[in-house]
Chain A
């Protein structure tokens, strides 16, 4: 392994080299410190219902654990970031399989899990061709493995559910991990995560203040047109501000690209949210699990990130001439 690869994968001493990494880290800590004061002030104003205040306290306590769990691996090195994303994919697939009932199909589920593990390995190895090949190959394996149960009735439904699960949570989230193969991965990954989280917050606030007309009332009555537009406007602004520093000296630093990236993150993120709400409505469940108190399951928390990861990856990949191409490829599989 070359020194530059080792530095990127495990070099925590460079954690705060980029101003965006510092700002996001300090901003996250400040937000966690200020949030209780805001909740107390709102509580004293008497304008917020007690059950809503209770939910906010619960969410704040959960973020006290979630923030270091998300920030820690990114600051420590690309290897931990990739491993973290791999584990996130596996746990999200677990929730999806348990919610749909697919977990009862052990051979199919094992194939999807192996597919996710291989995707994580391809990312870790910076082996883009394997990473790309694993999507069609895993789909073919899912379809093949399902044959041997010798139950043609329901074959399409079983395999289609598994393919959907793998494409969204294995391949889709794998793109987030692949961003860690960029030499400048910390601010880039943080930009995606912060923009995604703030997109939710902006849409919630705008919807709460101005929202009347729901976008898809049967899917999610609280997702309003005003909320979506507010989220779009503010998230794009945030991406433009942070993106100017993240993409400094690259073709993506132009205002047009930054605005486009902001629109992509906001629109795709909000659609991702509605996509998973559609799945939940179809399954007649409220949450995918209870893993994260106050949020539901991991999939309830990171639903919008699933489509954002691949959308951002391919936009950036196209305009910067390939993510990870300036880094050593096939770190672990090149011998001699």
Chain B
């Protein structure tokens, strides 16, 4: 509990189109209301249409900061991961989304920012400065990220290797990272299809991992990626 400190909005002074893309974007009253409306709709939809089942909910931290990492094979993935989280954290949960998919068209960009509360990751030009900025916000604010370390949706449903960039954000920090496995999202909405099919979806949360003792160098980043990939894989059903 601190005294009041003047702290203008991180995106103060940016035009709306730029603010949507900013990693410093913060939610006001309108954005918060839209998040609540959107996530209430998503929760209802996932339970009604996909019979969403959640396992390992006890592994979810109650307070930020924390990071959720999962396998990625469908546009439904971020929605499924965020749906079971506490509604009081809505403004603090940021799915990290592909900038070139979600933040190039103004309408989609507004949707990603105002509804999903997503932050962009520019896959072709993501430098260390962007990861550093994300890391700083994760710890200082603090907040929660939803990350897909494969870097792209799997086209076959099989997990792709995790990228080491994730390690740059997490190595040397005590932030809990919750491994998650998403089952059924690929069948419900494949990358080549437009509309979701009625298919059951299941999500498994595993025990959180921390990487405070891992060195913040390439070998440390690779270790983070390897450990998390193993943890996510361990949550997959035996047949996968």
Contacts and interface: CB of A to CB of B under 8 A. Distances in A.
B28 interface: yes
Contacts of B7: 101
A290 B15 contact: yes
B13 to A, nearest CB: 5
Interface string B1-39: 111111111001111000000000010110010000000
Interface stretch (A6-14, A135-143, A150-158, A324-332): A150-158
Given A106-B29, A106-B32, A290-B14, A101 B1 contact: no
A101 B5 contact: yes
Interface residues of A, number: 25
Given A289-B13, A290-B14, A290-B15, A103 B26 contact: yes
Question: Which of B14, B26, B28, B32 has the largest count of A CB atoms less than 10 A from its CB?
Answer: B28
A101 B3 contact: no
A48 B111 CA distance: 45
Contacts of A157: 3-4
B29 to A, nearest CB: 6
A106 B31 CA distance: 11
Contacts of B15: 290
5 contacts: A98-B12, A98-B28, A101-B9, A153-B3, A285-B12
Given A285-B12, A287-B13, A290-B15, A154 B29 contact: no
Closest A-B pairs by Cβ, 5 of them: A157-B4, A153-B1, A154-B4, A101-B7, A98-B9
A189 interface: no
A113 interface: yes
Contacts, number: 52
A109 interface: yes
A98 B16 CA distance: 14
Contacts of B29: 103, 106, 109-110, 113
Interface of A: 94, 97-101, 103-104, 106, 109-110, 113, 151-154, 157-158, 161, 282-283, 285, 287, 289-290
A16 B15 CA distance: 37
A189 B6 CA distance: 35
Question: Which of A94, A100, A101, A283 has the largest count of B CB atoms less than 10 A from its CB?
Answer: A101
B48 to A, nearest CB: 29
A154 B1 CA distance: 8
B8 A283 contact: yes
Nearest to A97: B28
B31 to A, nearest CB: 10
Interface in B104-146: none
Nearest to A159: B4
Given A94-B28, A290-B13, A100 B1 contact: no
A205 to B, nearest CB: 28
A81 B13 CA distance: 28
A219 B2 CA distance: 28
A104 B143 CA distance: 14
Contacts of A154: 1-4
A283 B6 contact: yes
Contact of A151 (B1, B9, B13): B1
Interface string B189-232: 00000000000000000000000000000000000000000000
A285 B9 CA distance: 11
